[in-house]
Structure 1
Amino acid sequence: MTRLGPFFVYSFTAAFAIGLLLSWAITHRQARQQTASRWRDAALTTLMVGWLGARLGFALLNWHYFAERPSELMQLWQGGLTAYGGLVGGLLGLGLWCWWGKRPFLSYATLFSPALVLLVATGWAACWLEGCAYGAETTLGPLSANLPDSYGVFTVRYQTQLLGIGLNLLLAAALAYLQTRKLAKLQLFPLTLIFTNLIHFGLTFLRGDTTLMLLGWRLDSWLALLFAIVGAMLLQYGRWKKVYK
């Protein structure tokens, strides 16, 4: 956190704001090539509902805290977001916008796919700056370093945040390469959904931050696996219906 005059600037908020600006620029370039109508309205709806979903998910996971401090519930600039709350909210917002305007959901989801991967990488970067989503304690090795948790306690931990940044940037590059190989464009969204969630799924087993557990796994492990399966089903459904041409 730093201070600019009378304003406090939180590292989490600053990193995410940069990610949003870059995502907007990438989507703007993609939209010019695809001539998508009213994509800005779709993007704003997706972002707003996604942000509310991310905050709601965090509030539900930490309801014992917010029940005593309800005034902090909508202080979005202080961080406190959940990836899967944001994903569910964003998809819901985009789905409702497409349904209301009778527009093809998959076309707009495909348009926003590069931005989604970048936002995931930005989320890991924000956590690296803030100290959230920190790694579990381990021994010193190529994937570990002397790192703090969210309370500032240093020990040797897995570098989960840097792994999340690097793997998702590699994914973005791989998907961009597949586009140059004339991959059927509507396959981009299912592939994005599959691989971003498989990356998240793998990293959950290296994380040390506490969360809800279900049958011995973290809740976000189950959610990552669920969305990867949804992506695979969507990919297969599109092939079956011959949507990808």
Structure 2
Amino acid sequence: MLDLIYPLNPIALHLGPIAVHWYGVIIGFGVILGLWLANKEGNKRNIPSGTISDLIILALPIALICARTYYVLFEWSYYKSHPSEIIAIWQGGIAIHGGIIGAVLTTVWFCKKRKISFWKIADILAPSLLLGQAIGRWGNFMNQEAHGGPVSKSFLESLHLPNFIINQMNINGVYYQPTFLYESIWNLTGVIILILLRKFDYRRGEIFLTYLIWYSIGRFFVEGLRTDSLMLTSHIRIAQLISIVFVIVSSIFVWYRRKKGYALLSSAAE
């Protein structure tokens, strides 16, 4: 049986002088799997061939830039003294809330240009987004980041985790909460729920809004356990504040669109 060396090497392989990090490989895998899922649903919804792929090609780099910019701005006290590290996304430091904002704005623009309903496309993409986020958290695992506070080894063993996770959570002799795992499991559960919602009479846009609500609730509680949160003040975690805003705004959207009759039943709108 292969003996693993801990901590696991964050570099997957070298291509000459170029180091390929697991962080990027895992995120890339999440994008590919999410694209496959979205294209499959897009075909069922009679979305023109190539539309989803065209959107992803446009939105993905913009979302990554926005996610990194968001993170750097809130950590500017560090990056102003280390400007060469601003582009070093392979070391981590991608804020998903910034990515979501960038992706949504890009999708709104794209849908207007293509004369396609934003809400329809957003519903198609929602499970893929959550799936990509669930997979992407394992990139944090490889980098030994996005973890919680110190815990005992016996606590981790009580969660019935495999040894490779327990050992990777040992950082410089201290074991930490595997918050990356908590969020990954929450997100995967959300993917299943969003897919199941398609079998019921939901209103257009409500799968996407449910995604924002589901993800934000989980992120709020997981963020409270983390030790590397971006902070607005000494007591307010930015991700928790944004999560609350997402839940409130998304809930208002669901209520308002139903009240005004804007959200036609999906079965009647396809």
Equivalent residue runs for 1:10-159 within 5 Å: 10-37=21-48, 38-138=51-151, 140-141=154-155, 142=158, 148=169, 152-159=171-178
Tell me if structure 1 keeps the 8 A contact 2:23–2:142: yes
Alignment equivalent of 2:210, drawn from 182, 186, 191: 191
Query: Once the two structures are superposed, what CA deviation does each residue of 1:193-217 show, in whole Å capped at 9, x if it has no partner?
Result: 1001111011011112243143723
Query: Once the two structures are superposed, what CA deviation does each residue of 1:124-150 show, in whole Å capped at 9, x if it has no partner?
Result: 22111211211122455345956548x
- Note if 1:163 corresponds to 2:163: no
Rate the CA distance shift 1:80–1:210 in 2: closer, same or farther, 3 A: closer
1:24 Cα deviation after fit: 0.8
Question: Which ranges of structure 1 fall in alignment gaps of 5 or more residues?
Answer: none
CA RMSD of aligned residues (A): 2.3
Tell me if structure 2 keeps the 8 A contact 1:164–1:199: yes
User: Matches of 2:143 and 2:264 in 1, distance apart?
Assistant: 41
Give the partner amino acid of 1:87: I
Tell me if structure 2 keeps the 8 A contact 1:187–1:244: no
User: Matches of 1:117 and 1:157 in 2, distance apart?
Assistant: 25
- Note if 1:231 corresponds to 2:214: no
Tell me if structure 1 keeps the 8 A contact 2:131–2:191: yes
4+ long deviations beyond 6 Å: none
TM-score (norm 1): 0.88
User: Matches of 2:121 and 2:191 in 1, distance apart?
Assistant: 18
Rate the CA distance shift 1:237–1:158 in 2: closer, same or farther, 3 A: same
What is the identity percentage for the equivalent residue pairs of Structure 1 and Structure 2? 22
Rate the CA distance shift 1:90–1:168 in 2: closer, same or farther, 3 A: same
User: Matches of 2:197 and 2:13 in 1, distance apart?
Assistant: 43
Question: Which ranges of structure 2 fall in alignment gaps of 5 or more residues?
Answer: 1-10, 266-270
- Note if 1:3 corresponds to 2:13: yes
How many residues get paired?
243
Aligned to 1:211: 230
TM-score (norm 2): 0.81
